[in-house]
Amino acid sequence: MARTLKLVSGVEPAMVWHADTELPAGTDLVVVPGGFSYGDYLRCGAIAARAPIMDAVRSHAAKGGLTLGVCNGFQILCEAGLLPGVLMRNAQLRFICRDVYLKVERSDTPFTRGYNAGQVIRVPVAHGEGNYIADGETIARLEGEGRVLFRYASPDGMIDPNWNHNGAINAIAGILSEHGNVLGMMPHPENHVEAALGRTDGRGLFAGMVEHLAKAA
């Protein structure tokens, strides 16, 4: 993730330790990356969401600061109350590690301005608990407010149960916060940004954020 941020923005990202209590001065984007965090065996992200630094992350988001959580980062943002719902075990109870296709639902957000609405991108997933679940009222609100940003889809953009790899409700792969400045998503766009490594479908997300921040400066 750090390599991708530097590659696309040209700026070296500051690394923040979980026990820190403040973000670096002038922070305009917080990224909670994927991987694994302490206590995931209890419930993914449950302990990390209570780390000292998360108070600063909540404050950053409350002020409108851009916040991105990928994979375990998505789980942490949900556990921290920055996004609704929860990520449960995959429907087949198996770890999934493969490229998937995502349908981009909107292109008018800081995270998706590098794409077109309806565009299908191909990025990797690597998770055992990516099955997004929320109560009916929450799902209705997310759908009604256009806060579902990415869905698992077929290569031609069809929302088909056969392409919903983890069983997530409504094939949800990524959601926005109420004010549109926090994104959580299970797939890893940061892994598909360099042509030398293969596909570059994930680059649009990071390029879009850089453009948004440049215009806001």
- Find where tokens 């797939």 sit: 187
Is 188 designated active site? Answer: yes
In the chain, the amino acid numbered 197 is L
Copy the structure tokens of residue 207: 């390029």
Active site residue 71: yes
- Dihedral angle over CA of 164, 166, 168, 171, nearest 10: -20
CA distance 134 to 61: 21
Q: Which listed residue (60, 127, 188, 192) is catalytic? A: 188
Q: What are phi and psi of 133, to 5 degrees?
A: -135, 140
Distances (CA, A) of 209 to 122, 150, 183: 19, 16, 11
CA dist 130 and 108 (Å) reads: 25
- Measured from the Cβ of residue 112, the count of other Cβ atoms closer than 10 Å reads 24
Q: Given the residues 60, 190, 192, 212, select the one marked as catalytic.
A: 190
Phi-psi region for residue 140, left (φ > 0), alpha (ψ -120 to 50) or beta?
Answer: alpha
- Decide if 127 is catalytic: no
Q: Choose the catalytic residue: 60, 71, 78, 79.
A: 71
Instruction: Please identify every residue annotated as catalytic.
Output: 71, 188, 190
